Amino acid sequence: MLRKILADGKAEEEFIEDMRKRGEETDAKVTASANEIISAVRNRGDAAIREYTMRFDGVEVSEPEVSAEEIEEGIRLTGDELMRILKRAAENIREYHKLQLSHGYIKVDGDTFCGQVVRGLERVGIYVPGGTAAYPSSVLMNAIPAAVAGVKEIVMATPPGKDGKVSPAILAAAKIAGVGRIYKMGGAQAVAALAYGTENVPAVDKIVGPGNIYVATAKRLVYGKVDIDMIAGPSEVLIVADETAEAKYLAADLMSQAEHDRLSSAVLVCTSESLADRVDEELKRQSAELSRREIIDSSIKNFGAAIICESLDRAFEIANIIAPEHLEIMTESPMEKLGLVKNAGSVFLGRYTPEPLGDYMAGPNHVLPTSGTARFFSPLGVDAFVKRMSYLYYGSGSLREIGEDVIKFAENEGLTAHANSVRVRMENE
């Protein structure tokens, strides 16, 4: 079930290259369809939203915005136990992201000063998958950092179920996270509505949240009109392990990501071939009891592997090349190895820190860079929902002291009006 690759400098590179190709292809038909939907929503607004909701979700929604009564009903149907868990997770997420808050500053020098102002965005759109896949964790992870950042209004879009309603757990999570308005709409049409606005849906400044290929394509197409978080690819986990690691834990964690979809990647990088064999046996044993066994089997067969290295140093070199979304370190002294990690979305240290802790409860965000983009992207956080504005002030004496250099700099670039803007002030003194 789990292919073994003996790291020799070539075999692992070939595997990494194949892994990176998954989900890379841009489907021209999907792009054309998304463009058509975006154009229709821009031109016909709410009418187009209703038509596409009927076509793709099979439900007629006369009033797209979720009412206060529907939200309260959703909270009631969620039940006390899940509400308690959602609130506990929200508190951990909120406290973690509060630590990310940055503040403005000012630098004073004589009669000059300059600085920076940090402000939350005015309005942000959160896309949350719906229908048969209800993920209240996505609501918490996308909305709470925005609220902490000081975003004035958080708008959420999520597809309705066949009954025309939104999942109660999603509504409950939205209430807890501080979402202001919720709309029953999904797909590329929801992205278009959030980007351009309709009669009833306000246009936002940024769109975040996961979705299917149409959602991802639409987000790419509206980027520039609005900001977006990232283009998410298939989920992935990489585990670096030594001989002290528990095979049953490694297998369980590999499958926890493999179950997302058939394009997910679950990779073990270890220093022991016998450990890889034991993990393979555990995969067979544990997967037999899991509901998404077929997806797990397909994912691990096509995009999973055990890469066996001569040393942990080489294991971390490979991990940094792959730059995984989730990186688990299952070694004797995991904290000592953290300094070896250069590229990863989120790092999980030790045998009692499985990746699902990060998905749901611990506090760090689960919206992470995929497909090697951890080389230059960061997890979703407060910084994604703020903008920075610089300011400066010069008195006449300071302008005179620096003015000639500014004039010469501008003239060197051939921008004589720039130079003149400074010169007329100096001549006036």
Q: Is 9 left (phi over 0), alpha (psi -120 to 50) or beta?
A: left
Where does residue 51 rank: exposed (0-12), middle (13-18), buried (19+ CB within 10 A)?
middle
Pairing verdict, β 227-228 and 305-308: unpaired
Break the chain down into helix, strand, coil percent, rounded to 5.
50, 15, 35
Instruction: Say if CB 114 and CB 351 are below 8 A apart.
Output: no
For the chain, the residue count is: 429
Among 325, 328, 355, 366, the active-site one is: 325
Tokens of 70: 């529907």
Per the annotation, the verdict on 326 as an active-site residue is yes
Where does residue 394 rank: exposed (0-12), middle (13-18), buried (19+ CB within 10 A)?
middle
The whole-angstrom separation of Cα 188 and Cα 334 is 42
Among 326, 328, 355, 366, the active-site one is: 326
Tokens of 344: 């990863």
Per the annotation, the verdict on 103 as an active-site residue is no
Tell me the C-alpha to C-alpha distance, in Å, between residue 272 and each of 248, 276, 304.
Answer: 15, 7, 17
The type of residue at 106 is I
Tell me the C-alpha to C-alpha distance, in Å, between residue 270 and each of 15, 239, 242, 274.
Answer: 15, 8, 6, 10
The whole-angstrom separation of Cα 64 and Cα 92 is 32
The whole-angstrom separation of Cα 204 and Cα 152 is 11
The whole-angstrom separation of Cα 41 and Cα 53 is 12
Q: Is the dihedral of CA 226, 230, 234, 235 positive or negative?
A: negative
Residues that are catalytic: 325-326
